Structure 1
Amino acid sequence: MSVPVPSSLYTAQDLLGGFNPWDPMGFTLSRDFAIYREFATNGGPLPASLAVRAAQAEHDAAIADALRIFLKTVQRPLVGIMGGHSLPRDHLAYKAIAYLARDLAREHFLLVTGGGPGVMEAAHLGVAFSSFDSVGPLDEAIGLISAVPKAPILDELFTDTWTVKDEKLGAIDDARKWLKTALEVRAKAPEILPVSLAIPTWLYGAEPTMPFATHYAKYFQNSLREEALVNNSRAGIVYGRGGGGTMREIYQDVERNYYAKTLDEITPMIFFDAGKFWETDPVMGETRAMTSSINVEPTIRPILTLGLVSEKRPKPAVEACLDEKLLFTTDHTSIIKALRGHQKKSQQNLTFALAAEPLKIGTLRMNRR
């Protein structure tokens, strides 16, 4: 495998180098896409040989160490913003995420996402324009980027000889337009962007890489990437609307909190959507959903209560803790308060992690009872 072992986290320029915004095939010319094609050729998540598996493992280990060094250097409370890749740029929920991210960045939280389109891009866009005193530049950016609202679907992209299928050429050109628009908006942000972190994976390498983060910890193995994404979001996680991947992250977060040894270890879980996406059952037709929503609200609190209530943690104390840390809200003040309330413990756990003392982190070693 020809991918060199990185000595630091990637930048957008590292990944998008080679992209040609004027060539219909320009999306496929980037370094990022070349690595993805090789990853797919070599078996994707099931490496075709021990040599490929070893090369990927060496790369991912180097990225993990670069991420450790980055977090040790920055030393800011890390807040995850999770959500789906399919949220259009012209949707009100996209704008709401961007606004929230702007406010969190101005409160000196470091934001991390999975690095893809949709909710993830909206979060980094909000950070990118957070240094302006007015929201005007962010509003302008959202208006410009909404001209190409949806990232194309690039599933089943290759032929048996790993060339792009003829029927996918239009989607490849759509990806070029999507990325070209993002880069044009990026040019209107400050030359030196406020810091934000993306943790993507080449498992989803067909998705265009958004250019608004300053640092990218890109992994081959999605399982390692998910662990890095959820476990490092120690100050709390905000969930915008999403699908199956976001659900996995939600319940991975639930597991982490379920096994918390003390109530101050519980990481805030914030479900953020004005349309009550996470609190409403979908309306289903015979062949498709008539409305899009996933109702997790009835399940999460009972699961956490089951795991947390004990002789040392009576039910009233657990319920009071969850009132503070399990939120279904769009109120920025309440969200910032919940994240601030966990900041001291999150930074303490970050210190333990960076000092290679994981057993001192109460939610890292799960108690399998």
Structure 2
Amino acid sequence: MLPPNDHEIETLEEFDRVAAAGSLRGHRVQSVDLTTRTPVLLSADTAEAVFLGCPMEPAAAAHVRSNGALVFPPVPDVPLDPYRGRLYSPESLYEGLADGYPATPDARAYDWFLRTRGRGDIFASMLRGIHDDAVSDAFDELLDGERVVGVMGGHAMERGTDAYAGAARLGRALARTGLMVATGGGPGAMEAANLGAYAAPFDEPMLTDALDALAKVASFRPSVTDWALAGFDVRDRWPGGGTSVGVPTWFYGHEPSNVFAPHIAKYFANATREDGLLARCDAGVVFLPGAAGTVQEIFDTTTPNYYESGGAPRPMVLVDHAHWTRTLPAWPLLRALARGRTMASRIALVDSIDEAPEALARLSGA
């Protein structure tokens, strides 16, 4: 049996390297254009191989099928690749942004989702499921060997505010400790934390200047185009920023993906996205003030901690005493659930966002 993942081929370079040995037996080839590799496909052993969305000449497709391979051809008239082998990038989602956001792959995918969901189209539903599974696989490959910290918070936090600047400082501080910052990938607090991680390799003045530049387009409303372009302008001005991951969803497609996470795991199913994001935050989660979505994320993280499933409880830091004890009193319930359990030593409530990195480090050593 092949070791896990060693049988996946996701680029033409990988294909050529494997095929050079004369056998593709048992491999899974994802979204690789093989139209120029017909001689190789006609000669290689492809028994038990699976080709997922790989364009190839009809003769090559017929041959590999007859040799025992499964071939799932590319799907026409769908604005995305359900078999993709890599996560999205901001550039891939926003291609064509100069012509306006509606022209981008991101916007077209959201439109397709709304149309097909409304019809109850089982074929489209199947494609969405395949897509989300492929994204999860690529997500796991990206995070292999990484320690991941989540930063959760609401989408309404605007650029130019003290709260936004604080979330950016938080992302920067966490990234500078060597952690992979993961967010919900959208605007607001999510964008700010991804921006901070992007700013991690630069000196402090870069983040200050970037915040000032972004404040000129405070929100994605009324223009996603202007909002995204402002983000790309910052990236163009300071290329080569730090890495992080955003995990947005077309379920909330009216909230666009931010451009500061170089790696974007975008899903159709919000439940898959939420659970997958939080489950991968093995270094803990920081919860900034938010509304229903952030409250849900608090208790999605609490449940495995409460039942002590999946190893040691993950640290949880809630930021803003007033918000989490009076506005939305999640903290008293969280503390009550933790009473007498191991997770009690892994939760903290802090007043200031600048206290969060130290609190997280303290809980991690508990």
Residue 211 (structure 1) aligns with = 259
Query: How many Å apart are 1:271 and its aligned residue?
Result: 1.0
Which of 207, 222, 226 is equivalent to 1:138? Answer: 207
1:37 correspondence with 2:83: no
Greater Cα offset, 178-187 or 108-117:
178-187
Aligned in 2, Cα 1:146/1:272: closer, same or farther, shift over 3 Å?
Answer: same
Residue 361 (structure 1) aligns with = none
If you compute each CA radius of gyration, which structure gives the higher value, 1 or 2? Answer: 2
Unaligned runs of 5+ in 1: 153-170, 282-293, 343-369
Residue 15 (structure 1) aligns with = 93
RMSD: 2.0
Mapped contact 1:33–1:206 kept (Cα < 8 A): no
Query: How many Å apart are 1:223 and its aligned residue?
Result: 1.0
Amino acid at match of 2:104: S
Mapped contact 1:199–1:229 kept (Cα < 8 A): yes
Unaligned runs of 5+ in 2: 1-76
List per-residue Cα deviations over 1:12-68 (Å, max 9, x = no partner): 111011111xx5xx0111110011111111116xx7222111111111111111111
Equivalent-residue separation in structure 2 for 1:265 and 1:66 (angstroms)? 25
Amino acid at match of 2:84: P
Residue 3 (structure 2) aligns with = none
Greater Cα offset, 296-305 or 76-85:
296-305
Residue 234 (structure 1) aligns with = 282
Equivalent-residue separation in structure 2 for 1:327 and 1:122 (angstroms)? 21
Mapped contact 2:350–2:356 kept (Cα < 8 A): no
Mapped contact 1:235–1:339 kept (Cα < 8 A): no
Amino acid at match of 1:101: G
List per-residue Cα deviations over 1:153-186 (Å, max 9, x = no partner): xxxxxxxxxxxxxxxxxx3xx2222122111122
Residue 350 (structure 1) aligns with = none
Equivalent-residue separation in structure 2 for 1:88 and 1:195 (angstroms)? 22
1:70 correspondence with 2:147: no
> 1:1-369, aligned counterparts within 5 Å?
2=78, 3-4=80-81, 5-20=83-98, 26-43=100-117, 48-72=120-144, 75-132=145-202, 134-152=203-221, 171=222, 174-189=223-238, 191-260=239-308, 265-273=312-320, 276-281=322-327, 294-305=328-339, 309=340, 318=342, 322-330=344-352, 331-332=355-356, 334-338=358-362, 340-341=364-365
User: Relative CO higher for 1 or 2, CA cutoff 8 Å, sep ≥ 6?
Assistant: 1
Amino acid at match of 1:19: L
Q: Which SS does the other structure have where 2:88 is aligned?
A: coil
Query: How many Å apart are 1:10 and its aligned residue?
Result: 0.8
Equivalent-residue separation in structure 1 for 2:347 and 2:333 (angstroms)? 15
Query: How many Å apart are 1:188 and its aligned residue?
Result: 2.2
Aligned in 2, Cα 1:322/1:188: closer, same or farther, shift over 3 Å?
Answer: farther
Query: How many Å apart are 1:334 and its aligned residue?
Result: 2.4
Query: How many Å apart are 1:332 and its aligned residue?
Result: 4.4
Query: How many Å apart are 1:335 and its aligned residue?
Result: 2.5
Equivalent-residue separation in structure 2 for 1:336 and 1:76 (angstroms)? 17
Q: Which SS does the other structure have where 2:258 is aligned?
A: coil
Equivalent-residue separation in structure 1 for 2:322 and 2:165 (angstroms)? 16
Q: Which SS does the other structure have where 1:280 is aligned?
A: helix
Q: Give the number of equivalent residue pairs.
A: 286
Equivalent-residue separation in structure 2 for 1:276 and 1:210 (angstroms)? 28
Q: Which SS does the other structure have where 1:326 is aligned?
A: strand
Amino acid at match of 1:11: S
Normalised by the length of structure 1, the TM-score is 0.73
Mapped contact 1:268–1:338 kept (Cα < 8 A): no
Equivalent-residue separation in structure 2 for 1:339 and 1:197 (angstroms)? 23
Query: How many Å apart are 1:150 and its aligned residue?
Result: 2.1
Amino acid at match of 2:92: D
Query: How many Å apart are 1:151 and its aligned residue?
Result: 2.4
Aligned in 2, Cα 1:215/1:339: closer, same or farther, shift over 3 Å?
Answer: farther
Mapped contact 1:270–1:329 kept (Cα < 8 A): no
Equivalent-residue separation in structure 1 for 2:357 and 2:266 (angstroms)? 32
Aligned in 2, Cα 1:240/1:303: closer, same or farther, shift over 3 Å?
Answer: same
Equivalent-residue separation in structure 2 for 1:248 and 1:144 (angstroms)? 33
Equivalent-residue separation in structure 2 for 1:60 and 1:244 (angstroms)? 24
Residue 11 (structure 2) aligns with = none
Normalised by the length of structure 2, the TM-score is 0.74
Aligned in 2, Cα 1:48/1:111: closer, same or farther, shift over 3 Å?
Answer: same
Q: Which SS does the other structure have where 1:220 is aligned?
A: coil
Aligned in 2, Cα 1:101/1:135: closer, same or farther, shift over 3 Å?
Answer: same
Residue 349 (structure 1) aligns with = none
Runs of 4+ in 1 over 2 A off after TM superposition: 321-330, 332-336, 338-342
Query: How many Å apart are 1:204 and its aligned residue?
Result: 1.2
Amino acid at match of 1:14: S
Equivalent-residue separation in structure 1 for 2:229 and 2:325 (angstroms)? 36
